[in-house]
């Protein structure tokens, strides 16, 4: 077994406050002052530079972990713990401020169900569009098309109707069906199961577990649903204020989390 994901000293910093009126003008003034070697005119009193400590915020600080190929990692934590930021960095949506992430294999991320669905397009067209956005080739989709439609439980006569006429349940089922047939080695999923009815959620969890066990895919899964994490994942990490406070088996981490939030 080899390492599929390796995260080293990962940190992400955000700048607080508003980028609003006059920020271009301020930026130019700060920049010209810097060129002339003068102090920044927008420095506040008792602050070292304009973007001082108070205007900065570390969403993630020095995160380190490794996931072996075929393992399913659950990432849990309260709102604002940095889970989504971590997934965004892993999905290459935003760059880290410090640190390195190394991954082996094709990565597909599922941060939202139905990303890139175009309401005017039919179900069939959207399967292709959505699949391509998630990194599938046309040949992959051709091969899996019937299976995707079957998995989504959408009656075949609806597949050539624009998705704007679908019920929200159909929309979500179709979207997840596409994602479930991604053939990437690493799958990153965030709260995607918060939608859909319980039965369909169960089916999705089952599908994810199945592809991971049979084809040795690595899954990184974020959820507030402790039950789902316990059911799907083997190992877990608990995030708090941008740092890992606990790691271990999924069960241990889930227990620790429940203890911490006190319910």
Partner 1 sequence: MTSDKEAWDVVITPKRMWLGLNLKELRQYKDLIALMIRREFVSVYKQTIFGPLWFVFQPLMSTFLYMFVFGNIAQMGTDEIPQALFYFSGTMLWTFFATTLQKCSDTFINNAGLFGKVYFPRLTMPIAYVTNAFFTLLIQFAVMLVFYVYYLANGVQFSLSWWILTTPIYILQLALLGTGFGIMISALTTKYHDLRNLVSFGLSLLMYATPVVYPISSIPVRWKVLFQFNPVAPVIEMFRYSFFGKGSCNLKMWAYSLIVSVVVFLLGLMTFNHNEQTFIDVV
For binding to partner 1 (CB under 8 A), which residues are involved?
A: 2-3, 6, 14-15, 19, 23-24, 88-107, 109, 111-112, 115-116, 118, 120-121, 128-129, 132-138
The string over 123-139, giving b where at least 16 C-beta atoms fall within 10 Å of a residue's C-beta and e elsewhere, is bbbbbbbbbeebebeee
Query: How many secondary structure helices (H) and strands (E) does the chain include?
Result: 8, 9
The least CB distance from residue 103 to partner 1, in Å, is 4
Q: Is residue 65 within 8 Å of 7, Cβ to Cβ?
A: yes
Q: Which is nearer to partner 1, 6 or 207 (CB)?
A: 6
SS3 content of the chain, % helix, strand, coil (to 5): 40, 25, 35
The least CB distance from residue 150 to partner 1, in Å, is 23
Q: Which is nearer to partner 1, 208 or 254 (CB)?
A: 208
The least CB distance from residue 6 to partner 1, in Å, is 8
Q: Which is nearer to partner 1, 40 or 140 (CB)?
A: 140
The least CB distance from residue 255 to partner 1, in Å, is 28
Q: Which is nearer to partner 1, 33 or 111 (CB)?
A: 111
Structure tokens at 33: 């002052």
Q: Is residue 67 within 8 Å of 5, Cβ to Cβ?
A: yes
């Amino acid at each position: 077994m080899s390492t599929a994901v390796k995260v080293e000293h990962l940190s992400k910093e955000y700048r607080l406050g508003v980028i609003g009126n006059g920020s271009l003008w301020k930026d130019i003034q700060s920049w010209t002052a810097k060129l002339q070697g003068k102090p920044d005119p927008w420095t506040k009193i008792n602050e070292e530079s304009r973007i001082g400590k108070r205007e900065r915020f570390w969403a993630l600080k020095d995160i380190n972990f490794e996931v072996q190929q075929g393992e399913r990692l659950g990432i849990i934590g309260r709102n604002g713990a940095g889970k989504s930021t971590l997934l965004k960095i892993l999905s290459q949506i935003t760059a880290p401020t410090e640190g390195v992430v190394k991954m082996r294999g094709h990565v597909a991320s599922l941060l939202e169900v139905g990303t890139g669905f175009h309401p005017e397009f039919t179900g069939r067209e959207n399967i292709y569009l959505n699949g391509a956005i998630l990194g599938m080739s046309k040949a992959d989709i051709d091969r899996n098309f019937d299976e995707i439609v079957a998995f989504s439980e959408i009656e075949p006569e609806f597949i050539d109707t624009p998705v704007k006429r679908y019920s929200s349940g159909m929309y979500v089922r179709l979207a997840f069906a596409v994602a479930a047939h991604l053939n990437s080695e690493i799958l990153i999923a965030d709260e995607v199961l918060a939608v859909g009815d319980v039965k369909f959620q169960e089916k999705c969890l089952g599908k994810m577990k199945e592809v991971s066990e049979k084809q040795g895919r690595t899954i990184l899964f974020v959820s507030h649903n402790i039950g789902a994490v316990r059911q799907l994942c083997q190992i877990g990490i608990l995030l708090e204020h941008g740092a890992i406070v606990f790691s271990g088996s999924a069960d241990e981490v889930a227990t620790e989390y429940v203890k911490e939030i006190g319910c």
